[in-house]
Amino acid sequence: MKAAILALAIRIDDGKPTLLDAFSDSHEIRLLESSLSAGVDDPLKSIYDRRVEQTLEDEKFSDYVEELLSSPFVKPEIQEHGVQWLKSKIRIEEFQRKETEAAKIIAKFAFNVFCDDPSRLEMTLAGPSAQVKVKVVVVGSPSVNHHAA
């Protein structure tokens, strides 16, 4: 059984933890780790900036495919590839939506476990057919040691 990874970004103010965000994308988790290691003041900003860049690139390519599909002089083979790409994009977006929903549910549960026992910076949550390794990353609290995902 392959284990997924989820990183919880938490800030602790006056002893009270706040869940800032949860990351299930391995690239985002690595970016968070490297930002924390480099001592970046706002390690989440680089992740959010990357998301904006990725969205803009995706939209630009989608516009290009749409333009190809609407052009009257495009070969049928190219139009078929464009249609297949759009269908794949829809399936990927649906998968990502479901993954995001699942990550939110798991993050909420793991955050509650952390709140009950703040020493639990790593945990494995397992079900009958899935396993998620959760790492808690404390950000924005200079008095707390950072634990990278």
CA gap 34, 38 in Å, rounded: 6
Report if pTM > 0.85: no
b/e map 2-16, b = 16+ CB within 10 Å:
eebebbbbbeeeeee
On the question of pLDDT at 142 being above 50, the answer is: no
Task: Give CA angle at 132 (6, 31), nearest 5°.
Answer: 25
pLDDT tens digit string along 20-31? 999 999 999 999
Please tell me the predicted confidence (pLDDT) of residue 1: 64
pLDDT tens digit string along 34-48? 998 898 889 999 899
On the question of pLDDT at 16 being above 70, the answer is: yes
* Stated length of the chain: 149
pLDDT tens digit string along 80-124? 998 999 999 999 999 999 999 999 999 999 999 999 999 999 999
